[in-house]
Amino acid sequence: MTTTVQLRDDFPVLSREIRPGVPLVYLDSTATAQKPTQVLRAMDEYYRKYNANIHRGVHTLAEEATAMYESARQRIAGFIHAAHPREVIYTRNTTESINLVAQTWGRKYLQEGDVVILTEMEHHSNLVPWQMLAAEKHLRLEFIPVRDDYLLDLDAYQELLSLKPRLVAFTHMSNVLGTINPAEEIIRLAHAAGALTLVDGAQSVPHFKVDVQALDADFLAFSAHKMCGPTGIGALYGKQALLEAMPPFLGGGDMIRKVYLRSFTPNELPHKFEAGTPAVAEAVGFGAAVDYLSQVGMDLIAAHEHEVTAYALERLSEIPGLRIFGPDLPHKGGVVSFTMNGVHPHDVAQILDQNGVAVRAGHHCAMPLHDKFGITATTRASFYLYTTFEDVDRLAKGLDDVIRLFG
């Protein structure tokens, strides 16, 4: 915890008071993480000293900006242990990464009647793109059930694999339940059945080590803003052979090698999928965020979040009328979603905000998962490397105020 308290000084917003005498307790890192000074400084320095468009310019600023942009890609590739930086495609976010796969690989290779397996705990970003493609190409979507213990039913999954799916797409960690899914086993079974795999890593890559080669993932999608980086940029990892066989996503700018009046030749990887002027400053910030997390150590971050989550589960279990959704440790990441008897989750969140505690309330872009458990919304507290036990105590105290107000 001492290390975490020291790290908090790197995050300017954590010193803010919501109102005079009411300091901020930020428990919404699953939605977006706060940014350390090191990331802010890197982006500010880029705009002050190196701002230029990349790749095509031969002047000094353009060459420096290009080097920074591509250096960030190399560090991001190393962070997830990709075989080569060309396997990392810059996108706007996890959502765009998944849509890229659906609209390029999916549109080219999936045929009427093909099966795509998803899970009941998916974020809308890993549901709607496949629903859109299924409606267009008459695909069959099947879903791995979530059991009463909030884990995936892997026996049902193996039965679904008998349908010979073309793709299995699943979240590595649920943004609602905190369930950490056994990605390596899911991928191994999918490959044995002849399917490719796409992993939604939005909630895993920021919080614990993710090694795409060890997992043998075919695609992995993640976002910078959930891992101490800026908004507006994310990444898609894909195995090189798959990316090379996929058509481009968007047209124009850097994604071309040669253009004629009636045809074009696409660029090589990774530029084939990066049309138009890219988010250069955001890429610089993305690289700085990866550097920051690497310096702290992903194993230390995971261990710290485990301690904070265990403490939160203990404290919240003492609160009458509160129901927690999600598995027990060690299958759970730093997310605690809950309901309180007789109090709407939005009311809970508003009262907590009066106490300076920032949480999220709603369906968290997972309406089917909430429907499964017969609820419309939950209140969600989520943790990161800067969360302390004292933050959890402030959450518990705020929930005591909820009980006093609503009886």
- For the annotated catalytic residues, the residue numbers are 365
The Cα 182–Cα 152 span in angstroms is 9
- Quote the Cα angle for 402-406-407, to 5°: 105
User: Which of 154-173 are b and which e, b meaning 16 or more Cβ less than 10 Å from the residue's Cβ?
Assistant: beebeebbeeebbbbbbbbb
Do residues 136 and 384 make contact, with C-beta atoms less than 8 angstroms apart? no
Per the listing, tokens 């307790």 go with 25
Per the listing, tokens 């020291």 go with 6
At 185, the amino acid letter reads E
Peptide bond into 270 cis (omega under 30): yes
The Cα 3–Cα 138 span in angstroms is 53
**Helices and strands in the chain: count of H runs, count of E runs:** 15, 17
| Nearest alpha carbon to residue 116 among 151, 142, 88 | 142
The Cα 83–Cα 186 span in angstroms is 21
Residues 6+ apart with CB under 8 A from 297: none
The Cα 64–Cα 77 span in angstroms is 20
